[in-house]
């Protein structure tokens, strides 16, 4: 099991994020089945994405 943080999730979701390449490399190495996302990390990620100018607001699912 691997705990992930907001920077990893944002990097995975946004192609123009500075962490995108590394997040995708890591997900390829570890797979997605062993990831644990804490409620506070999920909340922080949703908050960040809902305010992010890099994505359209209708792409945020809550």
Cβ–Cβ < 8 Å for 4, 41: yes
Global pTM value: 0.78
What residues pair up with 3 in beta bridges, in sequence order?
Answer: 36
SS3 62: coil
- Domain boundary assignment for the chain: 2-59
SS3 37: coil
Q: Residue 44's pLDDT is what?
A: 95
Per residue in 44-59, pLDDT tens? 999 998 887 655 555 4
Cβ–Cβ < 8 Å for 9, 41: yes
């Amino acid at each position: 099991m691997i705990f992930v943080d907001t920077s990893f999730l944002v990097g995975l979701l946004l192609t123009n994020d500075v962490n995108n390449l590394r997040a995708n490399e890591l997900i390829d190495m570890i797979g997605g089945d062993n990831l644990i996302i804490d409620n506070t990390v999920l909340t922080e990620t949703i908050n960040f994405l809902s305010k992010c100018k890099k994505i359209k607001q209708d792409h945020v699912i809550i």
